[in-house]
Amino acid sequence: MSGHIKPLLPWRGKTLIEHIVAMAQQSRAQQVIVVLGAHADAVRGVVEKTGARVIVNSEWETGQASSIRAGLRALGPEIAAAIFLNADQPFVTNAMLDALMARYRQTGAPIIVSAFAGRRGNPALFARTCFADLQTLQGEQGGRVLFARYSVLAVEFDDARLGMDIDTLDDYQLAKSLDMQSGDSSRSNKYGRIMIRPDAPASAG
């Protein structure tokens, strides 16, 4: 998105990153950690005002795996699981995040992903049993690399918009259009810890 800092795009009276952080803070998560990479200087002040903990990943140019590793290093030994949430999914709600945590409490599954109309994606929860393997990821590798090694459960969401991510200005304009069409009623929440990577791609892997 040349010429635009994606986390700072306007969304529902806030910036996109503020909106996503608010959804995370309204969930049952104990703490929200925001890992910043590109544009950290521009975004940091906005995030700090939300009260979320900010981690700056100085290795962001090496790929998304560095942001995963940076976030994991910030976790204390008492943390049983972490949800990875990208800041370019404007329709994610706190209820979605709570649903992932509830499934984890019910099953203890090592990996729990979101599925939108049958398609797996983020947000995704990884139990501590996965942390060591996540720390070995390199370059643009993401959590999907672990799917072949661990049992994976999915929480299904019927509304495909919930998994929409913003990669281009056209995506952003489409998201705003869909949001206007849906009206306030769809913004209700009808549908551990959370780490948000504002500069990461939206796929789970």
Domains of the chain: 6-197 (3.90.550.10)
d(CA 190, CA 203): 23
Nearest-5° angle of CA 168, CA 31, CA 129? 90
133-183 pLDDT, tens digit each:
999 999 999 999 999 999 999 999 988 889 999 999 999 999 999 988 865
Q: What is the pTM of this model?
A: 0.86
77-114 pLDDT, tens digit each:
889 999 999 989 999 999 999 999 999 999 999 999 99
The three-state DSSP-derived secondary structure of 160-186 is HHHHCCCCCHHHHHHHHHHHHHHCHHH
